[in-house]
Amino acid sequence: MATLKEIIKLEYSRCAKDPIYFMKKYCMIQHPTRGKIQFNLYPYQETTLQSLADKRYNIILKSRQTGISTLVAGYALWKMLFQEDYNVLVIATTQNTAKNLVTKVRVMNQFLPSWLKETSEEDNKLSLRYKNGSQIKAISSKPTAARSEALSLLIFDEAAFIDDIDEIWVSSQSTLSTGGDAIILSTPNGVGNFFHKQWINAGTTKNSLAPFEPTRLHWSVHPERDQAWRDAQEELLGRKMAAQECDADFVSSGDTVIAPELLQFYRESFCQEPQEKTGFDGNLWKWEFPDYSKSYMVIADVARGDGPDFSACHVIEVESATQVAEYKGKIGTKEFGNFLVSLATDYNEALLVVENANIGWAVLQQIIDREYKNKFYMSKDLKYVDTSNQMNNRYRAQDKKMIAGFSTTLKTRPLIISKLDTYFREKSITVRSTRLLDELDVFVWNNNKAEAMRGYNDDLVMSLSIGLWVRDTALRLRQEGIDLTMKAIDGISSVAVESGFYGGTSGKVNTGWTMQMGDHEEDLRWLIDK
């Protein structure tokens, strides 16, 4: 008959080898309504736990209240007990969220039998360190969060909501490369962010040192939940939030400016590889080459060329609102100005619209120096509120109230974003670019302001928004002005020929488009010059 010491030794050995056995038999948890209870794992929890033990990198897309954070805490405890100097770092949106997982580890350790329990050397709200050298620490997110840590296990809790997670992940690679593990868990928060990208790429080595093992936990995996529970959640949370929190649905989650289902429609319906990737850096994508029977506009958003943002532009065929070309890259202001002139010239002397904030003026000055004539002007004093002043002919360009380029202000920004939303909802624009849709995936409402998620760019989005607004306002008004001018000139010409009126001493207008102005004739076609 085995002695108590021998039984404990065998039991200790079995716990060290089998995390499922260890957790089901010896781990106690603090249930919110039932108090202290045995952690009786559901089948889906056992499967997830086995994946954590078998795979270096795990990503878990989960429904709310599935007990996965508690499961991950138990796994961390198992590692810390049975391995010396095992270092666990928990990162979450806030310090309190990260602290909750450390608290779960502490509670489980507290209720272990004495022969399993490890003595604590350091124990506070944010960290727990054992005498065997193993420890767990909780911190809030910041770009350098994991840079100096010698990590055995990195845990991202509610990863889809963590700011700067891309930078944190990059900074952690040097320590994880020596053999460390990673667990990323979250409910979804829209598409295009770090968590979504890692989920999509799970099973490949793209963007990581090792492939992530994906686990999706829909609300229905929980044996105590049924459709009545799901219906109650939707009534409580609303349709969109219930899809996020219960269904683990990326598409229906998040607060993107353009609905995810619309973005998916555009990806499936219009996105295609460009016919040509050209330019000095290969970042000019062309889907259609210039058609000299069509009118185009080039819309540009300007960056310094050495910062995190990109200079970007679109070429839009005006009549059909079709994206025919696109650029996004790092380029100096002088070079970008020259590039835009060349691009606009190629596309039939296209209307050139440049966002004029800050460094944009340097690009505009280069365009002016190159004497490119078909530039966009806007009202200097009214800042686009009074669209009746939005003309683009020779007369308006010389008006002191007009200013070169487009000014994005507190007044104009909501207008251009609204126009972007309208075009996509009505499916009245043809978009070919995956780069643009990638930006729209992370273009969200943040405190009622439309902007890219932290750590992402919206250069293509903003330039397109400006272009669509110009197309529907200034260009429409410009065409109306051209039509009226042509009628007026035709009227003047016919009267002058017949009666000599406006004809100076000769009493004649030489052609239908010329007029005697003092001692010289002037060609009046500049009035309708596009």
In the chain, where are the structural domains located?
Answer: 4-245, 260-472, 484-528
Q: What six digits make up the tokens of 113?
A: 């039998």
45 CB-near residues (< 8 Å, 6+ apart) = 66, 67, 68, 71
Mean pLDDT of the chain: 83
Domain 4-245 in CATH 3.40.50.300? yes
Question: From CA 207, how far away is CA 117, in angstroms rounded?
Answer: 38
489 CB-near residues (< 8 Å, 6+ apart) = 512, 513, 524, 527
pLDDT in tens, 46-89: 999 999 999 999 999 999 889 999 999 999 999 999 999 999 99
% of the chain surpassing 90 pLDDT: 50
Neighbour tally for 138: CB within 10 Å: 26
Is the separation of the CB atoms in 135 and 87 below 8 Å? yes
Distance of CA 179 to the CA centre of its chain: 31
Question: From CA 316, how far away is CA 344, in angstroms rounded?
Answer: 11
Residues of the chain with pLDDT under 70: 143-149, 204-210, 251-254, 304-307, 380-401, 474-520, 522-530
345 CB-near residues (< 8 Å, 6+ apart) = 372
pLDDT at 96: 84
pLDDT at 143: 64
φ/ψ region of 499 (left if φ > 0, alpha if ψ in -120 to 50, else beta) reads alpha
To the nearest 10°, the Cα dihedral for 276, 279, 285, 286?
-60
pLDDT at 442: 86
pLDDT at 297: 95
φ/ψ region of 500 (left if φ > 0, alpha if ψ in -120 to 50, else beta) reads left
CATH for 260-472, among 2.102.10.10, 3.30.420.240, 3.40.1190.20, 3.40.50.300?
3.30.420.240
Q: What six digits make up the tokens of 487?
A: 């009628």
Q: What's the whole-model pTM score?
A: 0.65
Q: Partners of 130 in the beta sheet?
A: 120
pLDDT at 505: 41
Question: From CA 289, how far away is CA 275, in angstroms rounded?
Answer: 9
DSSP 8-state class, residue 429: S
* DSSP H or E segment with residue 351: strand 351-354
pLDDT at 445: 84
Distance of CA 109 to the CA centre of its chain: 41
Question: From CA 110, how far away is CA 428, in angstroms rounded?
Answer: 62
Question: From CA 93, how far away is CA 185, in angstroms rounded?
Answer: 12
Q: For the chain, how many residues are written?
A: 530
Ramachandran angles phi, psi of 313, nearest 5°:
-155, 160
Task: Give the N- to C-terminal CA distance of the chain in Å, as an integer.
Answer: 101
Question: From CA 387, how far away is CA 337, in angstroms rounded?
Answer: 27
Is the separation of the CB atoms in 317 and 294 below 8 Å? yes
pLDDT at 391: 43
Question: From CA 437, how far away is CA 140, in angstroms rounded?
Answer: 30
User: What SS3 class is residue 345?
Assistant: helix
